[in-house]
Structure 1
Amino acid sequence: MIVDKILTIARVFFSFTLLSGLGWVCDFVTFTLLVNLSNLEIFKANFVSSYVGVTFVWFTSLKTVFKLGGKGSSIFLVVYWCFQFVSILIYSQLMHMTVHEIPSIFQLVKISQNPEIAAKIIITPFNLVTNFIFMKFLTHLFAQKALRP
């Protein structure tokens, strides 16, 4: 019983991770272009690029991973975007702090030439877990609302 529950959560997390990986590619490409081509500050670039990724993840994972959709999903998208606003603020600040440490940590490695990109990569696993937990919670609320008469 408990093993089945763990396996189910692991399958959902794995599926979410795959779609989040695609969302991260959208995010990362947008972030890299904004930082390297327009010299946008890391905080602003991460903010813009993150919304590209999280919006992709919302629309692709809602039905395929969490088996939800239809009426009422737009209100949950707004809640998800609000959560992401706070999450992006926190992770952007962490990236900003990390950027200043990367040159000293990676002195001998070429990665120190692009500390913004390295910082984005470093914070990604933490952000993934945070997003999964919130998306799981939000879709649970969404499912409960759908079951009400």
Structure 2
Amino acid sequence: MICMATINMGDLKQRFQERQYKLTPQRQIVLQAFVDNPGKHLSAEDVHNIVRKQSAEIGLATVYRTLELLSDMDVLQKMDFGDGRSRYEINEDSSEHHHHHLICLSCGTVKEFEDDLLETLETVIARKSNFKIVDHQVKFYGYCDKCQSSRED
């Protein structure tokens, strides 16, 4: 069985059963790719390259369908960083807000930025607009250390 610290397998199996789906071995292998690559924002192609090493018979279409299903079930969070590819990460129920992302315009690297500096701004906006904010996402675009160095050469 797969050891998933951030995914409760019993809860996940129950959610699959409620939707009349099965937690197949292929779906478990796709989930394992995220568990084995914590903090990474994986595209379908990234996941496919990872799972092919373990199970060569899993096709890219199966990976796409599984990622969409897991995203619909809120197991994975689907994100768009403007590069034409959806990326996914484990949806952490424990965090009140999602972390922010630093996206390199040169190599496409995505890093997480954990500080939630917008709480005060959220409070002001909510109060002034009488709008209950439940979440936000922030993306910063620029150049990572490696790409900055190569641009200076």
The TM-score normalised by the length of structure 2 is 0.25
Q: Which has the higher contact order (CA 8 A, sep 6+)?
A: 1
Considering fraction of residues, name the structure with more strand.
2
The TM-score normalised by the length of structure 1 is 0.26
